[in-house]
Structure 1
């Protein structure tokens, strides 16, 4: 028997590692591990992401039971769980899909090392990206650190071969047959409660994709973006399927998928960016450590309506429109001079579609500290951004109903004053 280990690929269809496991073996037992290392770091017992994962895993389990198989679901340390499963099922091999985050790499190295020492092979495949690791390099054989040439190389390389689905359904007879199904742990036993937050449905809309280039910057328009970030994050949809739709309907939307790959390969080649600035000199800036200012920002009480609307939307729903993410991130780093890592961590705790590579890359872009980042002297004016992208205050009034009344606070800092302070503080370090 071999195991297939689900992680960021929570679907049975078009799943690279699962396809290879089923094609190459006659008895494949799928497993999922509620990783205690990850769960113990989540502060909110009603974290909507855990409910989403739990329900998705339960659905996969149900689908497999209809095939007279099962998905074994275990909480705990991945290494400990897999050690026990190898012993229990006399496992000869483990299949999975690649994960590029620093913690995931250490976890997989530990599992692979143990497996090989015990005569169990370990195979891992590319599934959550179009390209990975060293597949797209410069002519000097180095990783790209600027997006546009990376994108151009991807578009040149992206033949139909890279977008083909993996037909797992052809080999469903290879799922291990089980005499009795394993009971799934309850949410409560994992330390969580069910949340009633509205989660985005898995729906690819050609209409939205066709209009994406024109509508994507206007946060009041619920049909302006695809809302597929959470599904991409947890792999309930195949990136290959989405790229095919992008090529068909929207080059701009496809370019967003390429940005995602770009940040993944940055994290792979430069894992230090998880906690450090890609441009190390940015960590020498005299960042402010004002808890009061951070609290006003995080609660949406800055006196800048687009910033406040974005933060309130995030706190209430776990979602924030992409254009608004840029505005609120720039505000924290440049108006308030608070280190990007503080904001990145706050987003990590709240965003339903939180993805370390993309979140980190975008925060560093906003701060100016990342690869291919906005120059340090570009400071978004939140009022101009609001006039341009929410001209009728529709988005703002939805999330900041007291806007325009005496109850709404004055701006916590004048824009011109904040911009001057930012340029002066940044230039002390960056002009040396």
Structure 2
């Protein structure tokens, strides 16, 4: 039997500056690259764009791996069946993977541990969440205090960086998909159809371009980022969210890149908001399903069948919200300002349970990250960490007037606009 270490690819779809790979290669055993595709995680309408994006990143990664004489194996099936099968193929293997937050991700690790030892490595975040505490050792629940503590840690940021870690790869001639059930494993072509999806055209720039191309594009925007970032028609943001979510580029590389440039403070703040929501999700995992703040005591409503039909058809009747929903369904992305407007209106005006909108976004967003999505929806609903957000409401008409004054964003996604 071949002795190897299994690289379980999750939110680290790259070779460069990958801490999981560094740890997997330390003992000199050959490394076997593998991706788990659990079909239960990709059910329902709207998932095809996310799956297409993920598969294209795996194809790109496989091109890099081919240079080293290896290839990706995608295992299609439930975690318990997949790791049971891997145990038969590599009985002495260790599994190396990155820490991923969220109930389903944690459950997958527990299933894997029933068959093989699993080493989880912190990857995809700038900070060690266990180290960020108040002087009294308490978890920080305001962004102001978190940011101050984060900067102190970032000054000591461990400078682990290997452009191409030295890895002994397990020889694999061709990428493939194994469809694994309880009793058998069927070898299939390395294709989207083997995963039960069709190839579609992705249209959003953040999904079409590589992370390196987007970083090059953002260099021209960064000097005006603070002024432009809230205007959805301008696209004055980095568009890196999906690439950071799946780790096609290292968050440390992005941070080092931006630290060496002027006018970068606001973008660094946004990177730290990403860390903050992940930090809270790490320490309060129950917030995936429950209000983080228990003192709101609000009785949430559910949309009627007719109201929900209007949501799914992007026909709420408020132009900027309908445009945002159209963008969500067409592109798998929504500009961050518009995400907040939608979340505020759903929870504050309709009074709908924040979990309803959170699930809608989870279903359609290519860059879906449970920590960030839950954090944003709870913040807007007033049940997150900021007590002031209980009273904060984004008026969609005033927001449109301020951030889409010429109606460019609205008219792009709606056939006609009645906002003026």
Q: 1:171 & 1:90 partners in 2: Cα distance?
A: 24
2:17·2:165 contact (CA, 8 Å) conserved in 1?
no
Counterpart in 1 of 2:254? 242
Moved more, 373-382 or 150-159: 373-382
2:293·2:384 contact (CA, 8 Å) conserved in 1?
yes
Q: 1:295 & 1:245 partners in 2: Cα distance?
A: 44
* CA shift in 2, pair 1:287/1:71, >3 Å: same
Residue 192 (structure 2) aligned to one of 187, 199, 203: 187
- Secondary structure, aligned partner of 2:397: helix
* CA shift in 2, pair 1:68/1:61, >3 Å: same
Give yes or no for the alignment of 1:213 onto 2:226.
yes
Give yes or no for the alignment of 1:43 onto 2:45.
yes
Q: 1:105 & 1:182 partners in 2: Cα distance?
A: 27
Q: 2:300 & 2:352 partners in 1: Cα distance?
A: 9
Q: 2:162 & 2:66 partners in 1: Cα distance?
A: 20
CA apart distance, 1:295: 3.1
2:5·2:31 contact (CA, 8 Å) conserved in 1?
yes
Superposition pairs for residues 6-405 of structure 1, below 5 Å? 6-39=9-42, 41-44=43-46, 47-115=48-116, 121-159=117-155, 161-162=157-158, 164-167=159-162, 169-172=164-167, 174-178=168-172, 180-184=173-177, 185-198=190-203, 199-201=207-209, 202=211, 203-204=214-215, 205-222=218-235, 224-249=236-261, 250-282=264-296, 284-372=298-386, 374-404=388-418
CA apart distance, 1:236: 0.8
2:98·2:121 contact (CA, 8 Å) conserved in 1?
yes
Q: How many residues align?
A: 395
Q: 1:14 & 1:207 partners in 2: Cα distance?
A: 25
CA apart distance, 1:329: 0.9
1:10·1:236 contact (CA, 8 Å) conserved in 2?
yes
Q: Deviations over 1:96-153 (max 9, x none)?
A: 11112122122213322432xxxxx432211111124312112221221111110111
Counterpart in 2 of 1:3? 6
Q: 1:94 & 1:334 partners in 2: Cα distance?
A: 45
CA apart distance, 1:297: 3.6
Structure 2 residues not aligned, in runs of 5+: 178-189
1:297·1:332 contact (CA, 8 Å) conserved in 2?
no
The structure with the largest helix share of the pair is 1
Which stretches of structure 1, 4 residues or longer, exceed 6 Å deviation after superposition?
none
Q: Deviations over 1:43-91 (max 9, x none)?
A: 34x6111111112212222322221222222111223222222321343
Moved more, 345-354 or 18-27: 18-27
Structure 1 residues not aligned, in runs of 5+: 116-120, 409-432
* CA shift in 2, pair 1:191/1:137, >3 Å: same
Q: 1:160 & 1:62 partners in 2: Cα distance?
A: 35
* CA shift in 2, pair 1:212/1:306, >3 Å: same
Q: Deviations over 1:350-381 (max 9, x none)?
A: 11111111011001111111112543222221
1:2·1:25 contact (CA, 8 Å) conserved in 2?
no
Counterpart in 1 of 2:180? none
* CA shift in 2, pair 1:2/1:331, >3 Å: same
* CA shift in 2, pair 1:288/1:78, >3 Å: closer
- Secondary structure, aligned partner of 1:333: helix
* CA shift in 2, pair 1:299/1:246, >3 Å: farther
* CA shift in 2, pair 1:20/1:286, >3 Å: closer
Counterpart in 1 of 2:187? none
- Secondary structure, aligned partner of 2:118: strand
